[in-house]
Chains A and B, each alone.
Chain A
Amino acid sequence: MMATELVSISNAESFNVRGVENLAKYIFSRLGYMLVTFLVIATFTFFLMQTLPGSPFNDEKLSDSQKERLYEKYGLDKPLPLQYITYMGNIAKGDLGVSFQYDGRPVTNIIGERIGASAVLGAQSLLLGCVIGLFLGIIAAIKHNTSIDYIAMIISVIGLSVPNFVFAGILQYWVGVKLKWLPVAFWEGFEYSILPTISLSVFVIATIARYMRAEMLEVLGQDYIVTAKAKGLGSFSIVMKHSLRNAAIPIITILGPMTVTLLTGTLVIEKIFSVPGLGEQFVKSIMTNDFSVIMGTTLFYSILFIGIVLIVDLLYGFIDPRIRLSGRTK
């Protein structure tokens, strides 16, 4: 028995040093995988674009020779493999090409200009959604099977089942048109962002509240919660100190992709509120066959997504020490 104990102690001593080393190694290897993933996505999108019908220069007013000149200008006359190699080479330099629609404006420019509004809107609704959603979920779990629980869950079901453009419409009509409290469209200051933020956050609230409730119920039934209670902790400290962290893993899991979706703009809400965001631009580009913008946006989206997945995985380890040890050795 003694021997086992000694072994485990020496493990513990070197844990910290090895932990940092392991972390660097882990992140490094993950970056490698991320690069591969990104290349696969880029290649896939590139060839997928080629299968789309139509061309960015389908305007009837253009003559054939004008079209040819445009093809030549944007390099679309070259053989496909060559186009592919050029494109990948440009990506490596951080160049996503130029827009066909806006007469040669760099795609990175367009994204840079559009992402601001989307990101602000996304971040606000994410924040609002998390605060209210976590609160509802926790309250529902603590007051399990009481009217508070039922009300919270009814809110959640409504939020999940009613599409957000319905809320957007209702808010625009009542708060904007009838009461005239807030502007219903455009993007010229904080008050313009309130209504779209609320409309977007409904879904976040509903999802997070549901997950949080289920997870908290599970955690509150664990033995270590009884231990904490037997120590003399009040229910508030039990929730704050012993439950939240243990309930966080699934929440983080759903929050990752949700963050990406929200930050990069949502098509419908941006359209309804006339927000000059990335989502709106994306729809426009698809309609005009602006391949380079579509691809650029897709790649931008995937980079964010891949990055968030890594962050989520790192957060797992931060939240749960058991994942810290076992996850990295595999």
Chain B
Amino acid sequence: MEKILDVRNLNVSFDTYAGTVQAVRGVSFYLNKGETLAIVGESGSGKSVTAKSLMKLIPNPPGRISDGEILFEGKNLTTFSEKQMQNIRGSAISMIFQDPMTSLNPTMTVGKQIMESILIHQALPKKIAREKAIDLLKMVGILNAEKRFSDYPHQFSGGMRQRVNIAMAVACNPKILIADEPTTALDVTIQAQILELLKILQKKMGTSIIFITHDLGVVANIADRVAVMYAGKIVEIGTVDEIFYNPKHPYTWGLLGAMPNTNYYGEELVTIPGTPPDLLSPPEGDAFAARNKYAMKIDFQIEPPMYKVSETHYAATWLLHEKAPKDILPDFQKKIKRSLGNEKSIRNISNSNGKKEKLLEIKNLKRYFPGSKKQVIKAVDGLSFEIYRGETFGLVGESGCGKSTTGRIISRLYTATEGEVLYNNENIFKKKSDSEIKKLHQKIQMIFQDPYSALNPRLTVVDIIAEGMDIHGLYSDKKERMNRVYELLETVGLNREHGNRYPHEFSGGQRQRIGIARALAVNPEFIIADEPISALDVSIQAQVVNLMKKLQKETGLTYLFIAHDLSMVKYISDRIGVMYRGKIVELAESDELYNNPLHPYTKSLLSAIPVPDPLMERKRKRIVYDEGNAWRDKEEEPVLREIKEGHWVACTNQEYQKYQKESDVI
């Protein structure tokens, strides 16, 4: 294999007022021609900085490459002048960024932006560059390319914009394409399309790809080799199979364990306790030691060297030293073994608590918003489902399907255009007096998606948590009130001292815990969690989900869990409703839904989730849901029908018969 890129001992640091932050600390790796190397790690691990410094895109000052070599085709890029780098950027090495919504210039047509890439690096007449740009648009799968050439970015959807970004990046047949979390901001089905597109382009053009992500499912799907980064270092690197089936570093074990695999259920997710170290003053020894339960004394003193596991597989952990204990079985492997045995039995216990009591019932709920040009946006359009006391109901769907609107209607943040929401058999919109509404708000609480904007930055944690208690006058005694706040802080895994601090002093995961404590403060029965973990890192997600499960077990809470991450929903929910265009298209117990999906949209959604298992990823076939076709065949409006006990699908009469046959066979 021919090495196209060889990075040796790369160090990148940022000069800040507080001191020098060593974002990348001695990273070495190589990239072969035509392969895909994935760099995984949590936020702050230095993966993005590494990628950007390969193109010398680190803003300077404050950032600088303080040491190391970047050998691209044998030439050291660190010695290149800015002018020389401009010739490399976009032609030999190019990059796609995370957020397609902001990475295109809003005031320039997409065609011009693509043409620009071509014209900078190739002496072509404008007309030919234009034709080339149109060809590129066609190649990345944009229909009607000639017309769309002169459209502006805001006239494209997120997925389409990312395609434009890709067209721009590959315009000059780059040797290396760096993709910095290119699918993180996209829905799963769109993500699957983009990943497929990248693979096709790679095959066509022989490009090497550096793919940065935190999603191990995506890694399993696209990578040939994987580098795991932690605290500015590569802690493990190897082929995708070596990393997934024979990981050596405890941090890799943690990452793998924290991902809920859709194939097992029940046990707590493995969490990595704590948070990554502050790179202003990196810890001595192994940076991961403080969060590593297998850490030995030496881990806190001396940094482990890279041990060679195989020709392609290296890991930096003292566990590979010849004197280290050999009988360690990583957590995530234990879990797989156990789940094979008694997966079903765990599920049954949680559901067999006698007869089910309806807590919430939604009947034909509709919510329309006024749109542009006298159109109405039907955010929620005839939604019906029930939630039973003590269960977790998962509501999944892609962005814009109306799942968040639903949550907001139930908590009375929005009114309904039509339909009923019955809570404890009482219509919540019938409640008129302030005290009635107040009572309702005490019972129904919300946890929000973005922990950074959901907490008032001017209030201390105590005030944030106690605000609800004060509104409802739960505690008249000051001491009692404080005790309750402290108790809540401890319940969510924080301690008393945290109470007097302000939100900005906490990490994302800690803030989400504060959000949960705030919701719990008024002793609610029902919590609406609107994408509570999607802004968090994998290992932190696991911490929050475990906390939510624990609270449910202890206090019998009922959850409405709204999310687009299907694997996490499957893990936490008892029943799941799949939403599409403001309606539920399928509703079933979560195992049933995953093992036996009937509606074509559910099937396509499930087939789009990348699983953190390379072998499965290679076998997987994506099912595409063509809504246009699906609707055209129907003379009658599909309605929710029960195919078998507890499994509902939106279908016509004819489909109903078909589905019943299908599910009988299974």
**Residues in chain A within 8 A of chain B (CB atoms):** 1-6, 8-9, 11-13, 15, 222-224, 226-234, 241-242, 245-246, 319-322, 325-326, 329-330
CA distance A246 to B102 in the complex (A): 13
**Nearest B residue (CB) for A244:** B107
- Do A229 and B89 have beta carbons less than 8 Å apart? yes
**Smallest distance from the beta carbon of A6 to chain B beta carbons, Å?**
7
Kindly identify which residue among B94, B147, B148, B627 contacts A1, using a CB–CB cutoff of 8 Å: B627
- B452 close to chain A: CB less than 8 A: no
**Nearest B residue (CB) for A227:** B103
**Smallest distance from the beta carbon of B568 to chain A beta carbons, Å?**
23
CA distance A65 to B154 in the complex (A): 73
| A2/B628 contact (C-beta < 8 A), A12-B147, A12-B148, A232-B90 known | yes
- Do A3 and B91 have beta carbons less than 8 Å apart? no
Hey, which chain B residues are within 8 Å of A329, CB to CB? Answer: 372-373
In order of increasing CB-CB distance, the 5 nearest A-B pairs are A232-B90, A231-B90, A232-B89, A223-B102, A321-B152
Please list 12 pairs of residues, one from A and one from B, whose beta carbons are closer than 8 Å in the complex, sorted by A's number.
A1-B626, A3-B631, A223-B99, A224-B102, A227-B168, A230-B55, A233-B90, A233-B116, A319-B107, A320-B106, A325-B372, A326-B372
- Do B120 and A232 have beta carbons less than 8 Å apart? yes
**Smallest distance from the beta carbon of B195 to chain A beta carbons, Å?**
15
- Do B627 and A227 have beta carbons less than 8 Å apart? no
CA distance A230 to B90 in the complex (A): 6
**Smallest distance from the beta carbon of B661 to chain A beta carbons, Å?**
27
Hey, which chain B residues are within 8 Å of A222, CB to CB? Answer: 102
Residue from A3, A222, A330 with most neighbouring chain B CB atoms (10 Å): A3
Kindly identify which residue among B97, B624, B628 contacts A227, using a CB–CB cutoff of 8 Å: B97
Hey, which chain A residues are within 8 Å of B89, CB to CB? Answer: 229-232
| A320/B627 contact (C-beta < 8 A), A226-B97, A231-B89 known | no
**Smallest distance from the beta carbon of B59 to chain A beta carbons, Å?**
9
Kindly identify which residue among B86, B97, B106 contacts A246, using a CB–CB cutoff of 8 Å: B106
**Nearest B residue (CB) for A233:** B120
| A320/B147 contact (C-beta < 8 A), A227-B97, A227-B165 known | no
Chain A interface SS verdict (over half): helix
Q: Which B140-163 residues have C-beta < 8 A from chain A?
A: 143-144, 147-148, 151-152, 154-157, 160
Q: Which B359-406 residues have C-beta < 8 A from chain A?
A: 372-373
**Nearest B residue (CB) for A322:** B154
- Do A325 and B154 have beta carbons less than 8 Å apart? yes
**Smallest distance from the beta carbon of B380 to chain A beta carbons, Å?**
18
**Smallest distance from the beta carbon of B600 to chain A beta carbons, Å?**
12
**Smallest distance from the beta carbon of B88 to chain A beta carbons, Å?**
7
| A8/B144 contact (C-beta < 8 A), A1-B627, A227-B103, A246-B107 known | no
- B346 close to chain A: CB less than 8 A: no
Q: Which B576-633 residues have C-beta < 8 A from chain A?
A: 624-628, 631
- Do A234 and B144 have beta carbons less than 8 Å apart? no
Hey, which chain A residues are within 8 Å of B631, CB to CB? Answer: 3
Hey, which chain A residues are within 8 Å of B120, CB to CB? Answer: 231-233
**Smallest distance from the beta carbon of A18 to chain B beta carbons, Å?**
9
**Smallest distance from the beta carbon of B478 to chain A beta carbons, Å?**
46
Hey, which chain A residues are within 8 Å of B88, CB to CB? Answer: 232
Hey, which chain A residues are within 8 Å of B148, CB to CB? Answer: 9, 12
CA distance A90 to B374 in the complex (A): 41
Q: Which B95-148 residues have C-beta < 8 A from chain A?
A: 95, 97, 99, 102-108, 116-117, 120-121, 143-144, 147-148
- Do A13 and B628 have beta carbons less than 8 Å apart? no
- Do B102 and A2 have beta carbons less than 8 Å apart? no
Hey, which chain B residues are within 8 Å of A242, CB to CB? Answer: 105, 108
**Smallest distance from the beta carbon of A162 to chain B beta carbons, Å?**
33
| A234/B627 contact (C-beta < 8 A), A8-B155, A246-B105, A322-B106 known | no
Hey, which chain B residues are within 8 Å of A227, CB to CB? Answer: 95, 97, 103-105, 165, 168
Hey, which chain B residues are within 8 Å of A15, CB to CB? Answer: 151, 155
**Smallest distance from the beta carbon of A123 to chain B beta carbons, Å?**
27
- B500 close to chain A: CB less than 8 A: no
Kindly identify which residue among A8, A223, A246, A330 contacts B103, using a CB–CB cutoff of 8 Å: A223
Hey, which chain A residues are within 8 Å of B94, CB to CB? Answer: 230-231
- B87 close to chain A: CB less than 8 A: yes
- B45 close to chain A: CB less than 8 A: no
- Do B106 and A231 have beta carbons less than 8 Å apart? no
CA distance A224 to B83 in the complex (A): 20
**Nearest A residue (CB) for B61:** A145
CA distance A72 to B155 in the complex (A): 65
CA distance A223 to B96 in the complex (A): 11
**Nearest B residue (CB) for A9:** B144
Kindly identify which residue among A5, A223, A319, A320 contacts B143, using a CB–CB cutoff of 8 Å: A5
Hey, which chain A residues are within 8 Å of B155, CB to CB? Answer: 8, 11-12, 15, 325
- Do A2 and B157 have beta carbons less than 8 Å apart? no
CA distance A322 to B373 in the complex (A): 15
| A223/B121 contact (C-beta < 8 A), A1-B625, A9-B144 known | no
**Smallest distance from the beta carbon of B185 to chain A beta carbons, Å?**
11
Residue from A229, A234, A319 with most neighbouring chain B CB atoms (10 Å): A229
CA distance A229 to B105 in the complex (A): 12
- Do B189 and A1 have beta carbons less than 8 Å apart? yes
Q: Beyond A1-B190, A234-B86, A321-B107: 6 further Cβ-contacts under 8 Å?
A: A230-B97, A232-B91, A233-B116, A233-B120, A246-B106, A329-B372
**Smallest distance from the beta carbon of A40 to chain B beta carbons, Å?**
29
CA distance A253 to B89 in the complex (A): 36
**Nearest B residue (CB) for A329:** B372
CA distance A11 to B87 in the complex (A): 38
**Smallest distance from the beta carbon of A286 to chain B beta carbons, Å?**
45
**Nearest A residue (CB) for B171:** A231
**Nearest A residue (CB) for B95:** A230
Q: Which B154-200 residues have C-beta < 8 A from chain A?
A: 154-157, 160, 165, 168-169, 189-190
- B57 close to chain A: CB less than 8 A: yes
**Smallest distance from the beta carbon of B161 to chain A beta carbons, Å?**
11
Hey, which chain B residues are within 8 Å of A234, CB to CB? Answer: 83, 86
Hey, which chain A residues are within 8 Å of B90, CB to CB? Answer: 230-233
CA distance A2 to B107 in the complex (A): 27
Q: Which B61-99 residues have C-beta < 8 A from chain A?
A: 83, 86-91, 94-95, 97, 99
Hey, which chain B residues are within 8 Å of A233, CB to CB? Answer: 86, 90, 116, 120
**Nearest A residue (CB) for B372:** A329
CA distance A234 to B86 in the complex (A): 7
CA distance A2 to B604 in the complex (A): 13
Residue from A4, A11, A224, A227 with most neighbouring chain B CB atoms (10 Å): A227
**Smallest distance from the beta carbon of B338 to chain A beta carbons, Å?**
39
Kindly identify which residue among B107, B165, B624 contacts A320, using a CB–CB cutoff of 8 Å: B107
**Smallest distance from the beta carbon of B608 to chain A beta carbons, Å?**
11
**Nearest B residue (CB) for A225:** B105
Hey, which chain B residues are within 8 Å of A245, CB to CB? Answer: 107-108
- Do B116 and A224 have beta carbons less than 8 Å apart? no
CA distance A233 to B115 in the complex (A): 12
CA distance A248 to B116 in the complex (A): 21
CA distance A242 to B55 in the complex (A): 20
Hey, which chain B residues are within 8 Å of A232, CB to CB? Answer: 86-91, 117, 120-121
Residue from A230, A234, A242, A322 with most neighbouring chain B CB atoms (10 Å): A230
- Do B154 and A2 have beta carbons less than 8 Å apart? no
CA distance A13 to B148 in the complex (A): 9
**Nearest B residue (CB) for A6:** B628
Hey, which chain A residues are within 8 Å of B107, CB to CB? Answer: 245-246, 319-321
- Do A231 and B627 have beta carbons less than 8 Å apart? no
Hey, which chain B residues are within 8 Å of A6, CB to CB? Answer: 628
Hey, which chain A residues are within 8 Å of B152, CB to CB? Answer: 321-322
**Smallest distance from the beta carbon of A53 to chain B beta carbons, Å?**
51
| A231/B168 contact (C-beta < 8 A), A1-B189, A9-B144, A9-B148 known | yes
**Smallest distance from the beta carbon of B592 to chain A beta carbons, Å?**
26
**Smallest distance from the beta carbon of B351 to chain A beta carbons, Å?**
34
- Do A226 and B154 have beta carbons less than 8 Å apart? no
CA distance A27 to B334 in the complex (A): 70
CA distance A226 to B180 in the complex (A): 12
| A2/B57 contact (C-beta < 8 A), A227-B168, A230-B94, A231-B120 known | no
